[in-house]
Chain A
Amino acid sequence: MMTPHKIWNPTAECMPREQRRAVQLARLKETLVRVADHVPCYQKKFSELGFQAGDLTSLDDIGLLPFTTKEDLRQNYPYGMFAVPMREVVRIHSSSGTTGKPTVVGYTREDINNWTELVARFMTAAGVTDEDIVHIAFGYGLFTGAFGLHYGSEAVGASVIPISGGNTDKQLMIMQDYRSSALVCTPSYGLTIADRLEKQGIDPASLALRVGLFGAEPWSEQMRTELENRLGLIATDNYGLSEVMGPGIGGECLCKQGMHIAEDHFIAEIIDPDTGEILPEGSVGELVLTSLTKQAFPMIRYRTRDITRLHYDVCDCGRTLARMEKTRGRSDDMLIIKGVNVFPTQIEEVLFQIKGCEPHYQLMVDRVNNQDILEVQVEVNEKIFFDEMKQQRSFVDQVEKKLYSVLGLSVKVKLVEPSSITRHEGKACRVFDRRQ
């Protein structure tokens, strides 16, 4: 039996592709003028390339535009990339912990309205309606996840429970008593909830859960099966990153054939991460996003570092929007552990600061009982090897504490014998992500 697919904004989501390209071009031109007028970082990038906002006449010319990287955002911390005066900014969010300073993003009232619309689109695509009770177990705060889904749910007309993260027992009680029907959280927290249900002997069928919207970290098809079986719901994926907007850039419909990208608000390209060249349709490469409607924080060709592939054939749901596959990894070595962004270089910097410590290390990432575990293996040397166990333990504790203070994440430090970490010519392979 086929249920008809509900579509929040059929005009925008089912528009013929050529027509949408015309919308994209018009909006891109406006965006280029806006950044050329108001954002010094882009003024500089354009002048270095000898490019003027009016030079772009076709979407095929997008390759002429400069890229924007996380480093650009960091160098313009906190408000340097904003294209409007602060009096027009109504909201500020920030990305999760990265090297040094976080990145700050701003939204005008219209930005918030667009964001809300885009979240409402993918929630509708996932089957959420005004009958649903949406249980939002993302942490509310600087992170864009919780607020994005919150506003989107309200736009759909669903009843929002802004329970935030943590306290799983209370989450279960509320789920049972308030009859939560849509669950919003990270996929790993979804599994934590499933574990707790089992432990407490609660049959998921006795709950009202119907659909799960899992995001903020990459997850596999195996995890989808597990979430669906153990929570008794339909598990859907969605995509977003705070630098570009937050959740709502893409989301799955019930066909689960990739995340529909909101192409009337963003241009998505797939590039070769090494050469920066645009790859032909259907290639696997790094996703690059350009915002088309954002006022406060426009982004031109932002390098997401996420590796994926886009499909352009029309989906069975009727949407003509490109569909993005689940991300296959990163073109840099960033890890997402318990929702926290971790760069190996951050760990390297901490090790450098510790007296006698040489930066011979490798990172092991595992998922044990649905919890991400990061183990930092450090090669021992005579300067950090002590004959007394007490001293040796306190050295390990000291490194763990330092890493915690920098990463905001508990890690396990393990000392290993010298040369047990393989040396490579060229790029060192230091990261072993064994999560399934």
Chain B
Amino acid sequence: MKVEQISIFIENKSGRLAEVTRVLGESQVNIRALSLADTSDFGILRLIVDNTDTALKVLKDHSFTVNKTEVIGVEVPDQPGGLCSILEILDRNDINVEYMYAFVERSGGNAVIIFRFDNVDDAIKVLTANGITVLKGERISKL
């Protein structure tokens, strides 16, 4: 149920983001989804890729600081109120969202939301109990 995500520390200076994508591209790693959190000094780039192990290895080889984290992906109907219904469920069950980001599926037209929770297992339980489909990891990385 869980999706592997990699987080990369990026100093806030020009060319760093390009360097990450160049390194991944040269190793035939494809980026499925990404989000960037930034401060004035540094950023945290979060990626879901088609080959997490290769991505981790090549980034480390290029001296990037990288962590692997577990997130989950949820399919949301691409229509008004789609996301709200999920967030309400989480709120009612006191599940705290650390951060989230979204992308739209190529086929099917549904939106996929990536969630990071401090307690992933509880979150999955609550979501499935409420009839929300939590996507399988492979499904997202192979999209």
Which A residues have a C-beta under 8 Å from some C-beta of B?
A: 380-382, 385-390, 392-393, 414-420
The CA of A393 and the CA of B10, in the complex, are separated in Å by 14
The answer to whether B42 has its CB under 8 Å from any CB of chain A is: yes
Q: Are A389 and B9 in contact (CB under 8 A)?
A: no
CB neighbours (8 Å) of A381 from chain B are 65
Q: Are B67 and A385 in contact (CB under 8 A)?
A: yes
CB neighbours (8 Å) of A419 from chain B are 63
The CA of A380 and the CA of B7, in the complex, are separated in Å by 13
Q: Are B9 and A385 in contact (CB under 8 A)?
A: yes
The CA of A380 and the CA of B41, in the complex, are separated in Å by 12
Per-residue contact bits, chain B 103-139, to A (CB 8 Å; 1 contact, 0 not): 0000000000000100000000000000000000000
The answer to whether B143 has its CB under 8 Å from any CB of chain A is: no
- For residue B10, which residue of chain A has the nearest CB? A417
Task: Give the Cβ gap from A379 to chain B, nearest Cβ, in Å.
Answer: 9
The CA of A386 and the CA of B4, in the complex, are separated in Å by 15
- For residue A416, which residue of chain B has the nearest CB? B11
The CA of A393 and the CA of B40, in the complex, are separated in Å by 12
Q: Are A382 and B99 in contact (CB under 8 A)?
A: no
Task: Give the Cβ gap from B59 to chain A, nearest Cβ, in Å.
Answer: 11
Interface of A is mostly: loop
The CA of A390 and the CA of B116, in the complex, are separated in Å by 13
Q: Are B99 and A417 in contact (CB under 8 A)?
A: no
CB neighbours (8 Å) of A393 from chain B are 39
Which of B5, B39, B65 interacts with A380 by CB under 8 Å? B65
The answer to whether B34 has its CB under 8 Å from any CB of chain A is: no
Q: List 21 A-B contacts (CB under 8 A).
A: A380-B65, A385-B7, A385-B9, A385-B65, A385-B67, A387-B44, A387-B46, A387-B69, A387-B116, A388-B116, A389-B39, A389-B44, A392-B42, A392-B44, A414-B41, A415-B9, A415-B11, A416-B11, A417-B16, A418-B63, A419-B63
Which of B10, B63, B65, B98 interacts with A388 by CB under 8 Å? B98
From 49 to 72 in chain B, residues with beta carbon under 8 angstroms from any chain A beta carbon are 63-67, 69
CB neighbours (8 Å) of A388 from chain B are 98-99, 116
CB neighbours (8 Å) of B46 from chain A are 387
Given contacts A388-B99, A389-B44, contact A382 B116 (CB under 8 A): no
Which B residues have a C-beta under 8 Å from some C-beta of A?
A: 5, 7, 9-11, 16, 37, 39, 41-42, 44, 46, 63-67, 69, 98-99, 116
Given contacts A385-B7, A385-B9, A420-B11, contact A415 B41 (CB under 8 A): yes
Task: Give the Cβ gap from A364 to chain B, nearest Cβ, in Å.
Answer: 12
Q: Are B65 and A418 in contact (CB under 8 A)?
A: yes
Q: Are A415 and B67 in contact (CB under 8 A)?
A: no
The CA of A387 and the CA of B7, in the complex, are separated in Å by 6
Task: Give the Cβ gap from A143 to chain B, nearest Cβ, in Å.
Answer: 34
- For residue A375, which residue of chain B has the nearest CB? B41
Q: Are A382 and B42 in contact (CB under 8 A)?
A: no
CB neighbours (8 Å) of B98 from chain A are 388, 390
The CA of A392 and the CA of B39, in the complex, are separated in Å by 11
Nearest 8 interchain pairs by C-beta? A387-B7, A387-B69, A417-B11, A419-B63, A385-B65, A380-B9, A380-B65, A389-B37
Given contacts A392-B44, A417-B9, A417-B16, contact A387 B67 (CB under 8 A): yes
Which of B5, B63, B67, B116 interacts with A417 by CB under 8 Å? B63
The CA of A188 and the CA of B120, in the complex, are separated in Å by 53
- For residue A391, which residue of chain B has the nearest CB? B98
Q: Are B39 and A382 in contact (CB under 8 A)?
A: no
The CA of A390 and the CA of B118, in the complex, are separated in Å by 12
Task: Give the Cβ gap from B123 to chain A, nearest Cβ, in Å.
Answer: 15
Q: Are B41 and A382 in contact (CB under 8 A)?
A: no
- For residue B42, which residue of chain A has the nearest CB? A415
The CA of A416 and the CA of B64, in the complex, are separated in Å by 11
The CA of A386 and the CA of B8, in the complex, are separated in Å by 9
The CA of A382 and the CA of B63, in the complex, are separated in Å by 11
CB neighbours (8 Å) of A416 from chain B are 11, 42
The CA of A386 and the CA of B44, in the complex, are separated in Å by 9
- For residue A418, which residue of chain B has the nearest CB? B63
CB neighbours (8 Å) of B10 from chain A are 417
CB neighbours (8 Å) of B116 from chain A are 387-388
Task: Give the Cβ gap from A269 to chain B, nearest Cβ, in Å.
Answer: 46
- For residue A417, which residue of chain B has the nearest CB? B11
The CA of A358 and the CA of B98, in the complex, are separated in Å by 27
Determine which residue in B5, B64, B116 has the highest number of CB atoms from chain A within 10 A of its CB, and name it.
Answer: B64
Task: Give the Cβ gap from B2 to chain A, nearest Cβ, in Å.
Answer: 14
- For residue B11, which residue of chain A has the nearest CB? A417
Task: Give the Cβ gap from A363 to chain B, nearest Cβ, in Å.
Answer: 16
- For residue A381, which residue of chain B has the nearest CB? B65
- For residue B68, which residue of chain A has the nearest CB? A387
